[in-house]
Chains A and B, each alone.
Chain A
Amino acid sequence: MSSYPTRSEPGDPADEHDPTGVRDLLSALPDPGPMPADLVDRIHARLEVEREHLTGAAATHPLTGPADRVVELADARARRRPARTLGLLTAAAAGLAVTTVAFTQIFGSGASTDSGAVAQYPSRAEAGADEGAADDAGGMDGEEGSSFADQDMAGSDDAAEEELAESDEAGSVLSEQLPPTVLPPLGDVGADDYATAVHDASLGDPAAGAATEAVPLTDAQAAQCWGSVDEVGGDRTWPTRYAATATLVDEDEQAQPVVVLLGVRPGRAHAWAVPASCVSTQGVAVLDPDGVALPRP
């Protein structure tokens, strides 16, 4: 059994130089008390998942093993989920609207063409069901159609480029709903090379992802960890996203389990590291909010 001293033993050098009396004051402060029961249960459950993962890792595929079981932090999620869900729905709705407008303006030269452009993308917009229904019926929404034509279709090339950019962003927001690609665990990585490691793994470098010590991810866990990047204002428009577990080892040899995230678009890539607790907890702070930018062939 372990026993903890309430203070240093007499004769400890630290005792010899305390003419202030502060040491006595500090040692007399009340103990915070036992660990709260809910936290004990939470850690017990998390350790149980870890133990099941360890015992089952050899017999199961690393990406479909017991790590699928995620400890639900009900209280935290109850606080965070409504606002987050509302935010995501709002962003998705805004993206759909911009996409619809952009396609209408880019591909259409008149009212009838506008409706045709919209009609080609009915599945993207449940919110646009009314428009789709009007189009299917052949009844052009004259008010909206004419409004778009009057305002923007006579615009300059710059305006068209802006709309293209908006369309691209909106499409990317939509594509964000696709789950990230889960890469094999990266093993031990450093603060200065985790970005390269995950980048190499995304390119299929056989040397990357060889380690098996880190905990693998499920798609849902990867998506949840990407939410941390979103919450620090990360670029939400990465059309291709990756995630991989790793152990971040700092210069003092202190190890921290992390999930390394990689966003990729043509010519660009960006990596972030998030504490591994993101697999079970929403809103975990990103270790390096700025991330690491990488060139992408």
Chain B
Amino acid sequence: MTAAGIVTPTTELAELDDLTLLRRHQDGDAEAFGEIFRRHRDRMWAVALRTARDPDVAADAVQDAFLNAFRRAGSFRGDAQVTTWLHRITVNACLDRLRRQRPTVDLEGHDPVEPRDRHRSVEVRLDVRDALDQLPEGQRLALILVDMHGLSVAEAASVLEVAEGTVKSRCSRGREAMARLLQLDTGTEGDT
């Protein structure tokens, strides 16, 4: 047990797993959270940037996220991975900031991109990133976490705090919508 005020050498911290680091942070180890930050900052930055789609918003959000994690480490129950917890905090920080900027944003993502908008799909060939940006928030987040960041469906469901089936359906509908936007020949045209 690390007593409050004791600093674990960095080399030793690097050998510890995330959960142990978080517990040491709770116990007052002054360097433990720094190792968590060092370990996950690039990942959370990528998640924030892809979620917020704006570097300034992402920067503020990822700062909010790590501060929140620092302060609320005691609320981590340990029934998920620390990385999943950090993903959730980061995504929520981004969504909080996006909501303030665009209070009416559709966060549920139940409305698919217009499936029969042939005019737009013919005349505008979007690149992958633009197509992703066209998706409803829920579908976009699911694809960012699962397809871009490699989280499992279960992890993404934990991050987004929805059922696994919801993540699956959002991924499926999101991919189909993107395929239409990108005019990919998938044989799914018209499917909903």
Contact = CB atoms under 8 A, between A and B. Distances in A.
A14 B46 contact: no
Interface string B58-96: 011011101110111001000000110000000010001
A23 interface: yes
A36 B45 CA distance: 9
B147 A7 contact: yes
Given A20-B179, A21-B184, A8 B71 contact: no
A88 B58 CA distance: 29
A74 interface: no
B181 to A, nearest CB: 10
A47 B171 contact: no
Contacts, number: 155
A20 B175 contact: yes
- Chain A binding surface SS class: loop
Interface string A1-37: 1101111110011100111111101110101111110
A34 B42 contact: yes
Contacts of A287: 100
B24 interface: no
B187 interface: yes
A276 B63 CA distance: 11
Nearest to A254: B92
Contacts of B187: 19
A285 interface: yes
A296 interface: no
B176 A20 contact: yes
A284 to B, nearest CB: 8
Interface stretch (A38-46, A118-126, A259-267): A38-46
B176 A29 contact: no
A35 B147 contact: no
Interface in B142-192: 143, 146-153, 161, 167-168, 171-172, 174-176, 178-179, 182, 184, 186-188
Range, interface on chain B: 35 or more
B34 interface: yes
Contacts of B152: 8-9, 12, 14
A170 to B, nearest CB: 32
B147 A4 contact: no
Contact of B64 (A32, A51, A277): A277
A47 to B, nearest CB: 6
B62 A39 contact: yes
A5 B150 contact: yes
Interface string A134-171: 00000000000000000000000000000000000000
Nearest to A76: B56
B23 interface: no
Given A7-B150, A29-B128, A47 B33 contact: yes
A257 B66 CA distance: 12
29 contacts: A2-B18, A2-B39, A2-B40, A7-B150, A8-B146, A8-B151, A8-B153, A9-B152, A14-B167, A20-B175, A22-B143, A23-B147, A25-B182, A29-B148, A32-B45, A34-B41, A35-B42, A39-B45, A39-B62, A39-B63, A46-B67, A47-B33, A51-B33, A55-B4, A213-B71, A256-B68, A277-B64, A277-B67, A285-B101
Interface of B: 4-5, 14-15, 17-18, 28, 30, 33-34, 37, 39-46, 49-50, 59-60, 62-64, 66-68, 70-72, 75, 82-83, 92, 96-97, 100-101, 128-129, 132, 143, 146-153, 161, 167-168, 171-172, 174-176, 178-179, 182, 184, 186-188
Given A2-B83, A21-B179, 7 more contacts: A2-B39, A6-B150, A7-B150, A14-B153, A20-B178, A51-B30, A257-B67
5 tightest Cβ-Cβ pairs between the two chains A and B: A5-B150, A35-B45, A20-B179, A26-B147, A22-B175
